[in-house]
Structure formats: structure tokens, C-alpha cells
Structure 1
Amino acid sequence: MFTRQLLLAVAGLATAASLTGCYTMADAWENPNDYVPYYLRPYKADVHQGNLVTSDMVLQLEKGMSDAQVQFLLGVPLVRDQFHPNRWDYVYFLQRGNGDRQLRRLTVFFDEERRLDHWISDPMPNEEQADQLILGNIDTFVPEAPKAQTEENAPADAASTPAP
């Protein structure tokens, strides 16, 4: 009698375990990266494409700059549309090896005299954050407000110039 109950209990547990195993195998088939240890996964390099523009560069833009000055400051734009000759697009795309993606855009607009009219920008990293992103030390950045210029770090000629 005890043997029969033990045999039924073992058979029930074996059935439950086998049904659970089927569900786990189906889940593993759909999401294999969740079940493979990190040291057995292939290496995927980070992919950087486009123009790396920092917040420091965007802060140096001034209305009325020539297109040559803008190109000297930001580099050659990734997109120069022949249908919109007064618009330059600077695009930066980063895809991490783990699948995370970042996309940042800066669009500058020129007037008819090829002078900078206005620009539209996504939040950009500062110089140090951009370096850390490239090295892979950080995954994302927090946009920071530009540092205010104090008397200690003001240029020497600005301090000697009298106010009007």
C-alpha cells in the first residue's frame, strides 16, 4: 500500500517536472541570451557612427557665424540635403554590444547669406562624458547646465577691460 502511494507521488512529481521542463525549454528557445552565461556569449563591439558633437561645441555656436566657421567648429555635417541647402544635420549614433542604442541630433539652419540663423539640438554630453561613453565606462549621460563663468576662471583680458 505504501509502495503504491510512493509510486503515484513519484509519478506525479515526474509529470509535473517534465511539463515544467517543456515550458522552460520553450522560453529558452525564444530568449537564448537569458540562459547563456556571459562568458560564453560572443563579443560584440560598440558601433559609433556620425558626428560626435559635445555640449561645449553647441555652446560656442553664435547666430551670424558663417558656414565655414560652423564647419570648423562642428566638422563636416553627416547630412547635407540637396533639397534643403540651408540646413545641415549632425547625427551621432551609438549601438552598444549589449543592444542599447543612443541617437543624438543637431540641426543648424542658415539664412540666404549662408550665416547661421538658428539650430535645434538634442541634449549633448560634455567633453568628459563623451570620452567616457566612447570608452564604455558609462552607459548614458545626464545633461548638465553649462558652468557659470566666475572671476577666478574668467579670461585675463576680460577682467582688465573696463565696463562701458
Structure 2
Amino acid sequence: MTFPLDRRPARLLALALVAAASISTLAACSGLKRIDTVVRPYRAELVQGNFVSKEQAAALQPGMSREQVRDLLGSPLVTSLFHDHRWDYVFYLRRPGEAAQEFRLTVFFKDGLLERFEGDELPSESEFVARLYPEPPKPAQPPRLRIPEEALPAPRPAASEPAPSAPLPERYPPLEPTS
């Protein structure tokens, strides 16, 4: 004789899980802050493009060849087949919580020689490094620790002469076993 399986405990468990999920959903919607205000995802610092410093731009001279400009500034970020006479150097610095910084320098050529250049006010190399690595806040001075005299160990007498060491052996055993 076979007995039918009693499914009441499974139904009660499923009903309890549905009830718990409903209650937790209603509780979450009622008064908690939005999840994006509580949990902040990690946003990486983004440095992209070709950095051109104020010193590099100052070294540009009309009449320089394309190779000389490439040696000085590096390869351009943007070149176009339709605008062969123009190279664009673009640099972005994006930090979480700060406005994005963008720097541009455009170099124009005529007959393969540098004619002119124009662009944004570029930072110097030291200014750029300071933007990348701002100084961390200085920590507060730690409190000066004071040990009571009775807690200090007793001073040891000074040794006048070091103790003689054991003589070194004339021969050492081999490192690998001999067969």
C-alpha cells in the first residue's frame, strides 16, 4: 500500500518565503535612501591622449619638419586623410568627483614644414604632475608617549670587549650528497 506524499510543509515554506519577500520589498520602498546614495561604485581616474606640456609647445618653431615635431610632441592623437596639413594633440584628465579637464593643441603644416600652432593654455610638466598626484593631507602629530620610570628596564652594564667567537672550521661538508 502506498501513501500519497504530504505536500503541506512545502506549500507552507513557499508561502512563508513569498510573504517574507513581499514584506522586505515593502520595507525597502518605504523609507530607505536610494541605493545609489548609499553604495557608491568605484570610478577609476581616466588619463587619455597625448600630454603636451607648456615647455614642449614653447620649443615649437615655424619651419620645423614633421619628423622634428613628432620627435618633440610625439605621435598626434588625431590625423585625417582629408586634412593632411593638420595634427591634433588632445589630452583628457577625468577624476571622480571633479570636472573633466581637456587640453588641445593643433599643429598646422604647409609644404611639410610647421607653419603655426594653436590651442589651449597648457600646463607645465610640474603643474601636470601636481594635478595627477595631489599632496595628501598631513597627519596630525601623534601624542608623545611617556613611560613611567618604574616601567623602564634596568640599564645593562656596558661591555668593554666583545666575547671571543668560536674558530671557523677549516673544511665545510659538501652541499650535495656524494655517490
TM-score (norm 1): 0.58
What is the SS of the residue equivalent to 1:100?
A: coil
Take 2:98 and 2:123, find their aligned partners in 1: how far apart are those partners?
20
CA apart distance, 1:87? 0.2
The aligned amino acid for 1:81 is: S
CA apart distance, 1:132? 1.4
Take 1:137 and 1:89, find their aligned partners in 2: how far apart are those partners?
32
- Residue 115 of structure 2 corresponds to 117
What is the SS of the residue equivalent to 2:61?
A: coil
Moved more, 40-49 or 50-59: 40-49
CA offsets, 1:56-88, max 9 Å, x none?
Answer: 111000000011000000000000111000100
CA apart distance, 1:94? 1.1
Q: Which runs of 4+ in 1 moved over 4 A?
A: none
CA apart distance, 1:41? 3.1
Distance 1:44 1:118, change over 3 A: same
Distance 1:90 1:137, change over 3 A: farther
What is the SS of the residue equivalent to 1:117?
A: strand
- Residue 45 of structure 2 corresponds to 46
- Residue 62 of structure 2 corresponds to 63
What is the SS of the residue equivalent to 1:41?
A: coil
**What does residue range 15-164 of structure 1 map to in structure 2 within 5 Å?**
29=34, 32-33=36-37, 36=38, 41-112=40-111, 114-137=112-135
What is the SS of the residue equivalent to 1:84?
A: coil
The aligned amino acid for 2:132 is: I
Q: May I ask how many residue pairs the two structures share in their alignment?
A: 106
What is the SS of the residue equivalent to 2:52?
A: coil
The aligned amino acid for 2:46 is: V
Take 1:87 and 1:72, find their aligned partners in 2: how far apart are those partners?
16
Take 2:130 and 2:84, find their aligned partners in 1: how far apart are those partners?
34
The alignment-based identity, stated in percent, is 39
CA offsets, 1:76-117, max 9 Å, x none?
Answer: 0000111000100000011112252011100000002x1000
Q: CA RMSD in A?
A: 2.3
What is the SS of the residue equivalent to 1:97?
A: coil
Take 1:43 and 1:136, find their aligned partners in 2: how far apart are those partners?
19
Structure 1 residue ranges without an equivalent (≥5): 1-24, 139-164
Higher share of residues assigned helix: 1
Take 1:49 and 1:32, find their aligned partners in 2: how far apart are those partners?
27
Distance 1:137 1:120, change over 3 A: farther
The structure having more radius of gyration, on CA atoms, is 2
